[in-house]
Amino acid sequence: MSIITLIVEASTGVLIKKGQRVRQGDEVGMATDFKNKVVVPVDGEVIDYRFNPEDHTFVIQIQAIEDD
């Protein structure tokens, strides 16, 4: 299984929590350019997210769920 990393602007927060199952197309936050929303590219589970103070973003890690 692969891990997907997404980066969202921290000012608007995140729309997920650790351990949450997400589906392709679910919104997780705002893009760093504030022009678009960031969506999950695959079905999976949020395994971690953390604040990056250097660029004021949240880094979200999603474990992809692959169909057998």
Write the CATH number for 47. 2.40.50.100
Question: Containing domain of residue 18, as a range?
Answer: 3-64
Q: Please list the residues that pair with 60 across neighbouring strands.
A: 6, 49
Q: Is residue 11 packed enough to be buried (19+ CB in 10 Å), middle (13-18) or exposed (0-12)? A: exposed
Q: How far apart are CA 28 and CA 59, in angstroms?
A: 11
What does the pLDDT look like over 20-53, one tens digit per residue? 999 999 999 999 999 999 999 999 999 999 999 9
Report the predicted TM-score, pTM, of the whole model to 2 decimal places.
0.90
Cα–Cα distance for residue pair 62/44, rounded to 1 Å? 6
How many structural domains is the chain composed of?
1
pLDDT of residue 57: 97
